[in-house]
Structure 1
Amino acid sequence: MGAKVVTDDTFVSDVLQSDKPVLVDFWAEWCQPCRKVSPVLEEIANEMGDRVRIVKVNIDENPETTRAYRVMSVPTLTIFKGGQPVQSVAGAKPKGDLVRLIESAL
């Protein structure tokens, strides 16, 4: 399954209108820690399946969404539930921390 790429144009339909919690990975191509987080998110997406949606927003290609959620550093991982951001962490975190972040919104 894996993480879906989301853009400024699709953020509302893919994240805010989702019927399940969504973990948004705000990332950038040049960001080394982002590269470490990406495979971990893929694992989580495969393990948690239909309980959560995991999406990626490239901050350089999607400035509107990045500004709207005041993303100042990457990676920033924000969990959305019912169209609202409920919790956010910045920096590359271990898998267990990310799973707990997601489970807090389930």
Structure 2
Amino acid sequence: MTKFGELINLDIPVLIDFYFDWDKTGENPQEVLRDVVAALGDKAKVIKIDIDKNEILADALKVKANPTFIIYKEGQMKWRQSGELDAKTLIGLVQKYA
């Protein structure tokens, strides 16, 4: 498995969605992220991380809410927010750091 530091240390923005797989409330997160990926193409990387399967990482980053979105670029956290966001909002945020 790739180390987290390698995932976030890119020249393009990296949007990470920390989520609980068992929580099916709200908008369909798969569709939202699919739209984000389609709109951004190779200008950004989108990664989903299951909080239950990555508890140590989630604890280290103090991820408590589902979902929690974080944008990294060149290894630095640029933005973070918990709660549902629509694809248009996420696309705009990621493009801000492109």
Which of 2, 11, 21 lines up with 2:4 in the alignment?
11
Post-superposition offset of 1:47: 2.0
Q: Which residue in the other structure is 1:105 paired with?
A: 97
Quick one: distance in 2 between partners of 1:62 and 1:99?
A: 25
Structure 2 unaligned spans of 5+: none
Letter in 2 for 1:10: K
CA shift for structure 1 position 19: 2.5
TM-score (norm 1): 0.81
Check the 8 A contact 1:27/1:34 in 2, yes or no: no
What is the aligned counterpart of 1:20 among 12, 15, 31? 12
Q: Map residues 28-47 of structure 1 onto 2, 5 A cutoff.
A: 28-33=20-25, 36-47=28-39
Q: RMSD over aligned Cα, in angstroms?
A: 1.8
Determine helix, strand or coil for the equivalent of 1:62.
helix
- Count residues with an aligned counterpart: 98
Runs of 5+ consecutive residues of structure 1 not aligned to the other structure: 1-6
8 A contact 1:33–1:92 mirrored in 2? no
In the alignment, does 2:75 pair up with 1:83? Answer: yes
Q: How many percent identity over aligned positions?
A: 28
**TM-score scaled to structure 2, two decimals?**
0.87
